[in-house]
Structure 1
Amino acid sequence: MKKTGVMNSNISRVIADMGHMDWLGIGDAGTPVPKDTEKIDLSVRSGLPSFIDVLKEVLVELEVQKVYVAEEIKTENSKQLEEIKKVLPDVEIEFIPHSQLKKDLSVSKAFIRTGEETPYSNIILESGVIF
């Protein structure tokens, strides 16, 4: 049995398979996932697990060099944006239209669905390298 880190076997597998510049999405319960993108559904009920808790756990194992979030988060969910900045203080954030973020999920390795129900709580993580 795995002793530390992400215990969900699907998330752990996807993280282990990530290469430099691959993408992994994490988002709220309402995010439409393209049919060819693997969906790892963690949602249990409204708010459980939260977007930020899942993001924090993924970041324990995944090296991230850049993230993409919806431009709309600045005005529609600034609290969530501040939380993202706290857990990724030294990572470049690129703001893109929400419609583009949803389209970009089609080239992500996977999408992790949380129980989050606040608007624009979605992110695409671009993997970095550790050397």
Structure 2
Amino acid sequence: MKSRILNERLAAIVASLRHGEMIFIADAGSGTSAKAMYPLDTNVEYLDLGVVTGSPSFRDVFTTLINCGDFEGAIVTEDMKELNHEDFQIVKKAFDSQNIHIMHYIPEYYQMRDRCKAVVQTGDYGVHAQAILIAGYPSADIPMKWLKEGLKEDAE
């Protein structure tokens, strides 16, 4: 049976994505409230899919979106690559290495999150069980430098 998105709002978000727009798959620990360390920008739609601890998982949401949507790449944190090998392998199965972009976690990843069209929060409590998917279609890939344009440089 072909996968399809049953959540009405999530299906509408995925259908509305245009080339270069992004959707953030967040783990259950991602702070999005106004009191979070990095509050979610009010212009980013927030959709909480979490049902119980661990459900839906990052894998469930990521693979469903990949199967049902049109995505050309993903952005993950360096911490996911180092600390969450299982979920990183899921990302690697979906995209060629040149279409997986790895970036620093704080504050750059949160700044990129705030440029997404929507944040979809899972029930997954895995370490850095999150990714940003970049919408695409059969054309040239969007250069990462265009997506990162305007991000504040790390103050280290």
How high is the TM-score relative to the length of structure 1? Answer: 0.89
Instruction: Measure the CA separation in 1 of the matches of 2:90 and 2:72.
Output: 17
Segments of 4+ in structure 1 off by > 3 A? none
1:47 aligns with 2:91: no
Equivalent residue pairs, number: 128
Per-residue Cα deviation, 1:63-112 (whole angstroms, up to 9, x for no partner): 111110001112211122112212x1436100001121122111111011
Q: Where in structure 2 are the equivalents of 1:88-99 lying within 5 Å?
A: 88-90=94-96, 92-99=99-106
Instruction: Measure the CA separation in 1 of the matches of 2:89 and 2:137.
Output: 25
1:113 aligns with 2:133: no
Q: Where in structure 2 are the equivalents of 1:69-88 lying within 5 Å?
A: 69-86=76-93, 88=94
Query: Alignment partner of 2:82: what SS?
Result: helix
Deviation at 1:40, TM superposition (A): 0.8
Instruction: Measure the CA separation in 2 of the matches of 1:82 and 1:62.
Output: 20
Query: Alignment partner of 2:67: what SS?
Result: helix
Tell me the residue number matched to 2:134: 126
Q: CA RMSD for the aligned pairs?
A: 1.7
Deviation at 1:59, TM superposition (A): 1.3
Flag the structure with larger Rg. 2
Q: Please identify which structure carries the higher strand content.
A: 1
The question of whether the paired residues in 2 share the 8 Å contact of 1:98 and 1:120 is answered with no
- Letter of the 1:116 partner, please give it: D
| Higher relative contact order, structure no. (Cα contacts within 8 Å, ≥ 6 residues apart) | 1
Deviation at 1:124, TM superposition (A): 0.5
- Letter of the 2:109 partner, please give it: L
Which sections of structure 2, spanning at least 5 residues, go unmatched?
A: 33-39, 140-156
Deviation at 1:60, TM superposition (A): 1.9
1:14 aligns with 2:47: no
The question of whether the paired residues in 2 share the 8 Å contact of 1:76 and 1:119 is answered with yes
The question of whether the paired residues in 1 share the 8 Å contact of 2:3 and 2:68 is answered with no
